[in-house]
Amino acid sequence: MFNYIKNIITGLISLCEGLWVTLKHFFRPSFTLQYPEQRPVLPLRFRGRLVMPYDKEKNDNRCTACMLCVKACPNNSISVEKMIGEDGKPKSKASKYFYNLATCMFCNLCVEACPFAAIVMSDEYELAVYEKEKLNLELISEKYNLTGPKEKWWASKFKEE
Ligand code: SF4
Ligand code: SF4
């Protein structure tokens, strides 16, 4: 009989504890979003897919084909083709910048390795495609237009040069 009453009391205490947790969370702001109608406000350091922003002041990208990002990438996701001058010698400029989104793990090592802030991880996170070939991107021809706070943040990396 004693154990029976003890079990009922323990059960009631446990029930009240559960209800108290529910009550507390009922008045807290919600952390979930009604995606895709609602979109999250992303932090500046958010790592979406890699892009090579177009520098409007320079009227060009900032890549010098130094290959540091290629060496820094642990997954061989990047390959760069240097521009060839009229004298047949390679120039300090990339003609093609290939980026394999399928093998990228968004580690940001390439961005950190770049001394010219030529590449940045964008806010793009809806990256699913139906054809695998579409994951092989050429970033120079995109002339990617960074906008908003991310553009200012990116520009601040080289404006004091
Ligand atoms: S984010 Fe990492 S894995 Fe992706 S391209 Fe850059 S270095 Fe390679
Ligand atoms: S993106 Fe940066 S690190 Fe990579 S080749 Fe261009 S200048 Fe060099």
Is any atom of ligand 1 closer than 6 Å to the C-beta of 79? Answer: no
Smallest CA-to-CA distance from 115 within 158, 153, 160 is with: 158
Is any atom of ligand 2 closer than 6 Å to the C-beta of 139? Answer: no
CA of 97 to the centre of ligand 1 (A): 13
pLDDT of residue 160: 63
70 shares its domain with 124? yes
81 shares its domain with 145? yes
Report yes or no on 59 lying in a domain: yes
15 shares its domain with 59? no
Is any atom of ligand 2 closer than 6 Å to the C-beta of 116? Answer: yes
72 shares its domain with 4? no
Q: Are 93 and 64 in contact (CB under 8 A)?
A: yes
CA of 30 to the centre of ligand 2 (A): 41
Domain that holds residue 18: 1-31
> How many residues in the chain?
161
- Walking along the chain (161 residues) 10 residues at a time, the average pLDDT comes out as 91 96 90 91 95 95 97 98 94 97 98 97 96 97 95 88 54
| Single-letter residue type at 89 | K
CA of 45 to the centre of ligand 1 (A): 15
pTM higher than the cut 0.85: no
pLDDT of residue 138: 98
pLDDT of residue 159: 77
12 shares its domain with 62? no
Strand partners, 1: none
Q: Are 134 and 100 in contact (CB under 8 A)?
A: no
11 shares its domain with 59? no
Number of domains comprising the chain: 2
Sheet holding 90-100, edge to edge: 78-84, 90-100, 136-138
How far is 15 from 85, CA to CA, in rounded Å? 77
CA of 16 to the centre of ligand 1 (A): 50
For residue 11, the 8-state DSSP code is: H
- What end-to-end distance do the CA atoms of the chain give, in Å? 82
Smallest CA-to-CA distance from 82 within 69, 98, 60, 65 is with: 65
Report yes or no on 36 lying in a domain: no
Strand partners, 80: 97
CA of 71 to the centre of ligand 2 (A): 10
Is any atom of ligand 1 closer than 6 Å to the C-beta of 155? Answer: no
How far is 113 from 5, CA to CA, in rounded Å? 68
pLDDT of residue 61: 97
Torsion of CA 54, 59, 62, 65, to 10 degrees: 110
pLDDT of residue 109: 98
Is any atom of ligand 1 closer than 6 Å to the C-beta of 75? Answer: yes
111 shares its domain with 147? yes
